[in-house]
Amino acid sequence: MWILNFIKENVLSGTAIFLLIISFCLTAKSFEKGSYLPSLGINLVGRVIAPAEKGRHELFQSIAAAWNRYVNLWDIEKSRNLLFTENKALEDKIASLIEVEYENQRLRKLLNFGQSYPYKLIGATVIGRNSSNWVRSLTINRGKQDGMKVGSPVVDGKAVVGQIIAVSKKTSTVLLLTDNISGIDALIQSSRTPGIIKGTGTAMLEMNYVLKGSGVVVGDKVISSGLDGIYPKGKLIGTVTKAEDTVGLVKKIEVKPSMDLFKLEEVLVLVSE
């Protein structure tokens, strides 16, 4: 009888302890490699939220387009001339780059190199951003039906953005390079010094395991090395903004990512063929 009274008086505390134990177990399960919980999340909640996010995105795009079309008319003539000149210069550049491409293919054949870019490029639109301040992620409007796969690298045309971590039928979640658990094998473009780029949970990145005396200076470009087997070689990651010696053997290097997180609207997903 006293047991029943005890349980009756402590139902709230007992239930709270039980729920905390479940939460801890779920957290531990999430951090396991290959855990199904992230995919479960995007399939349960993402399917409901994604249509609303798409609708919100399209509405904002329409409003922005209307604003640009009717309010900025006085700038159109100036922009048109500028774009015309730029277009001519780009056409010339494309022509010379095509030549370089052909030469590259001929030389590769000669040296018997394998195909260096076995990816299919799929464009996607960003329809949502991280719902929490402590998880840096994006939602894109491509899912399983478009060929998205967990682990596929994502770029914004010129720079690395991140990696797909969860896929539902119509949407996917991209973990940004700036998240705490993101990492990428990298090189300093000029000196070819290797290191590991790690997300810090803020807008900046840090490059670890770079030895003192490596000659890394502020302004150096950082690119992906391709050695991690995830990101292709040579993709721009960011620019070194701080390079200081520490008391140990390594340098403390801060890198500003080239992708502008807050202006990301379209991305490219590299899906392996």
Partner 1 sequence: MFKKIFILFVYCLLGVFIQSSFASFPTLALIKPDFLVMLVIFLSLKYRDIYGLLLCFFFGLIFDFASVLYVGPNAASAVISFLVVNYVGQKLFVESFMGLLILGFIVSLTKQLVYFSLIISWIQPNIGIANLTETLTTSVLTPFVVRAISFFGKKTPQDKRRKD
- Residue choice 6, 10, 30, 61 for contact with partner 1 (CB under 8 A): 30
Residues composing the chain: 273
Residue 130 has a CB neighbour count (10 Å cut-off) of 17
Q: Does 254 bind partner 1 (CB under 8 A)?
A: no
Q: Which residue has the tokens 């479940």?
A: 22
Closest separation in Å from C-beta 96 to partner 1: 41
Tell me, residue by residue from 120 to 149, as one string, x for binding to partner 1 by CB under 8 A and - for no binding: --------xxxxxxxx-x-x----------
Q: Assess 181 for contact with partner 1 (CB under 8 A).
A: yes
- Report how far residue 66's alpha carbon sits from residue 62's, in angstroms, rounded to the nearest whole number: 6
Distance in Å, CB of 131 to partner 1, minimum: 4
Considering only the stretches 7-15, 186-194, 216-224, 249-257, report the one whose residues sit in contact with partner 1 under the rule CB under 8 A. Answer: 7-15
Q: Which of 1, 3, 4, 48 binds partner 1 (CB under 8 A)?
A: 48
Among 46, 143, 153, 238, binds partner 1 (CB under 8 A): 46
27 lies in the binding site for partner 1 (CB under 8 A): yes
- Binding of partner 1 by 16 (CB under 8 A): yes
99 Cβ neighbours under 8 A, 6+ residues apart: none
Q: How many residues bind partner 1 (CB under 8 A)?
A: 50
Q: What is the 3-state secondary structure (H, E, C) of the chain?
A: CHHHHHHHHCHHHHHHHHHHHHHHHHHHHHCCCCCCHHHHHHHHHHHHHHHHHHHHHHHHHHHHHHHHHHHCHHHHHHHHHHHHHHHHHHHHHHHHHHHHHHHHHHHHHHHCCCCCCCEEEEEEEEEEECCCCCCCEEEECCCHHHCCCCCCEEECCCEEEEEEEEECCCCEEEEECCCCCCEEEEEECCCCCEEEEEECCCCCEEEECCECCCCCCCCCEEEECCCCCCCCCCCEEEEEEEEEECCCCEEEEEEEECCCHHHCCEEEEEEEC
Between residues 175 and 216, which has the closer beta carbon with respect to partner 1? Answer: 175
Does position 7 interact with partner 1 (CB under 8 A)? The reply is no
Does position 20 interact with partner 1 (CB under 8 A)? The reply is yes
**Is residue 169 at the binding interface for partner 1, with CB under 8 A as the rule?**
no
Residue 25 or 82 with smaller CB distance to partner 1? 25
Check residue 107 for interaction with partner 1 (CB under 8 A).
no
**Selected range binding partner 1 among 30-38, 99-107, 151-159, 239-247, rule: CB under 8 A:** 30-38
Give residues in contact with partner 1 (CB under 8 A): 11-12, 15-16, 19-20, 22-31, 37-38, 40-42, 44-46, 48-49, 52-53, 56, 128-135, 137, 139, 165-166, 173, 175, 179-181, 200-202, 262
